[in-house]
Amino acid sequence: MCLFHLVANEEKFFLRYDDGKQNVKWEFKLDLGTEGGKTLYNRLTKNKTIKSTMVWNMNQLTWSPENDSNFLSFLETDPSKKITFDAGDMLASLYNFIISSYHSESNYQQIIGNLIEPNNLFDMLKELKIEGKALFINLEFVYEPDNAPKIAELNKKIIIIFIIGLSILIVIFIIKFIV
């Protein structure tokens, strides 16, 4: 039963944009093997939503204290090794959080997750961008435990099937001993 619960329970994480005209969200995955991934996971499961003001400039989306007084670092110390990252990777350093739209290498950052379909986000940002100026955009990181009611119902059905099956086995076992 516990195995079934773990398989069926899918936590989903989204980056959401809502300006009143369009409400769009992009799913992302977190790397829980990293400090930044665990920190963001813990904050999202506790608060359900984290609001941010990010800047789209130089083909990357950046959240930093210069752009948003609500910036919360996901790391205690800056990573020291060089990493290679791809479009859609979510990078954390001590002083910023970046979602990259290109492939490159960097120091002092940690890959903490990635967008599932990053091109949809980047295409929208390119359309919104005013030439020569950085675009400030309000986004939310959202945690959605969307299968919780389904799991409870599924667990009830599994228990009922288990009890019925066990009852049938007991009846067969009793009949076997009588005959």
If DSSP codes are grouped into helix, strand and coil, which group holds residue 10?
coil
Residue-wise pLDDT tens for the chain (179 aa)? 444 444 445 789 999 988 888 888 999 999 999 999 999 999 999 999 999 999 988 788 999 998 888 898 999 988 888 888 989 999 999 999 999 988 888 888 999 999 998 888 888 887 776 666 778 889 999 998 865 556 667 778 888 888 998 889 888 888 888 87
Alpha-carbon separation of residue 131 from 22, 112, 139, 155 (angstroms): 21, 30, 21, 54
pTM for this prediction: 0.72
Phi, psi of 136 (to 5 degrees): -90, 130
